Amino acid sequence: MINLLYKYFFLCLSMAFWDKHVETLPRDKLEELQAKRLRDTVARAKKSVFYGPRLKGVEPTVFKKPADIGSIPFTTKNDLRANYDYGLVCVPKDEIIRLHASSGTTGKATVIFHNRHDIDTWTELLARCIVMAGAGKGDVFQNMISYGLFTGGLGFHYGAERVGMLVIPSGIGNTKRQIQLMKDFHTTVYHATPSYALHVSEEMARDGFDPKEFDLRIGFVGAEPHSEQTRKRIEDIYDMDVYNSYGMSELNGPGVAFECEEKCGMHLWEDNYILEVIDPKTCEPLSPGEEGELVVTTINREAMPILRYRTGDLAKTLEGRCACGRTHVRISRIKGRCDDMMIIRGVNVYPSQIEDVLMSFPEVATTYQIHLLRDGSLDALIVKVELYPKMFDGDLAKLKKLEADIGKAISDEVVVKPRIEFLEPGTLPRAEGKAVRVVDKRCEM
């Protein structure tokens, strides 16, 4: 009964706006604002060690409309790595109040800096997303995602507080406690990766709970690719609405694009970002509706603006106006990545990181393969490794020790615990041309 009352009460709040003026700005006004912010951003970016020489001779006044952005060179993840630590910062250091990093990266990570203005605008973006999906004051919000350097935790946390929700900063893991909190404090909205959302429901079932008997009415899921079927499955299991949330640390984190209640694509906040879609091979711009790599420019960030950032994410823009009344462009679900980055349990992992670890063990032969499977609702990482023949001399204890050592070294490096399988040399398929290092069967399962 309480559940029904909750749902009725919040139904009345639906179709709400956080910042209606900006969210429904006519296209011509929106583009005017973009052009102005682009000019300001270019002028500011010139102050950084990285962009200074790159933008030499480029006058901000040449950017009369957002489409003029094409004359600026792309920025890549490698540029960010090469200019670690403060190379892209364009404000005095004592103005910076926050550092974040891309998940899963080790060594020279991709770090992003924010000043007070940046944290405030990011918070506003999250507030917009939360209210757009029908959540708000009166909701109890459980943030079941990593806090810390990863942006999902603090980003959502600030946005949820701004709209006046009661925030439970439960972070990721400790699933039994998550369920307890959800039950005791009548959580109505949560944020999680889709795989963790499913994992929690399995744990609920194991503990004798029906996920539908909780007060949950909205789930925000993101940080990793997932299908429409996965959304539907989570919605059915919990009897709640699930909204897709897209972002990346380089562009703040969550709050870049988000679904409205129509659930037909994610609105990308164009007063803060300029979106382009390019062919990842030729770098040529694609027509609206064609699938390609998203290239995004931050136009409302002061401490560390990024111009024409190649996200590596594949998606397309959706045609036509959205029934919700918002004028900001919609993008499709992210299909995947055009580089080789894997997202395992929400953590970014590059095959080269695993290769580095493997190759540091002299017992390991030259060929390996990474297999990604589904273990229940969670991702499983299996590393198949060929060993030199001398290792197969019947000494099982030696193999067991090596298996444990490699497993530990990989999980230290990429934060995900792998299963190691040893093979005799020549067992794995050899490809003509590029070796197939990753076999991802998660979508087939």
Do residues 386 and 366 touch, judged by C-beta distance below 8 A?
Answer: yes
* Interface map 244-273 toward Zn ion (x if CB under 5 A): ----------------x-x-----------
Size, binding site for Zn ion by CB under 5 A: 5
Partner touching 435 among Zn ion, ligand AMP, none, CB below 5 to 8 Å by kind: none
Told to check if 234 binds ligand AMP by CB under 6 A, we report: no
Alpha-carbon distance of 342 to 299, in angstroms, equals 28
Alpha-carbon distance of 394 to 380, in angstroms, equals 29
Nearer to Zn ion, 198 or 260 (CB): 260
Partner touching 324 among ligand AMP, Zn ion, none, CB below 5 to 8 Å by kind: Zn ion
The sheet that has 364-375: what strands, in order across it? 418-423, 378-387, 364-375, 438-440
Q: Is 265 left (phi over 0), alpha (psi -120 to 50) or beta?
A: left
Q: How far is the CB of 4 from ligand AMP (least distance, A)?
A: 30
Q: Which of 101, 119, 322, 415 binds Zn ion (CB under 5 A)?
A: 322
Told to check if 245 binds ligand AMP by CB under 6 A, we report: yes
Look at residue 214 and give its three-state secondary structure.
Answer: coil
The answer to whether the peptide bond before residue 210 is cis (omega within 30 degrees of 0) is: no
Partner touching 322 among Zn ion, ligand AMP, none, CB below 5 to 8 Å by kind: Zn ion
Residue 255 sits at the vertex; the CA angle it makes with 254 and 260, to the nearest 5 degrees, is 120
Q: Which of 249, 317, 369, 377 binds ligand AMP (CB under 6 A)?
A: 249
Helix axes 175-184, 194-206, angle to 10 degrees: 80
Alpha-carbon distance of 126 to 159, in angstroms, equals 5
Q: Which of 337, 371, 419, 437 binds ligand AMP (CB under 6 A)?
A: 337
Choices 40-48, 154-162, 238-246, 396-404; region in contact with ligand AMP by CB under 6 A: 238-246
Q: How many other C-beta atoms lie within 10 A of the C-beta of residue 9?
A: 12
Q: How far is the CB of 16 from Zn ion (least distance, A)?
A: 12
Told to check if 324 binds Zn ion by CB under 5 A, we report: yes
Do residues 136 and 130 touch, judged by C-beta distance below 8 A?
Answer: yes
Q: Restricting to residues 87-116, which ones interact with ligand AMP according to CB under 6 A?
A: 102-103
Question: What does the binding site for ligand AMP look like in residue numbers (CB under 6 A)?
Answer: 102-103, 151, 222-225, 244-249, 253, 311, 313, 334, 337, 343, 348
Question: What does the binding site for Zn ion look like in residue numbers (CB under 5 A)?
Answer: 260, 262, 322, 324, 326
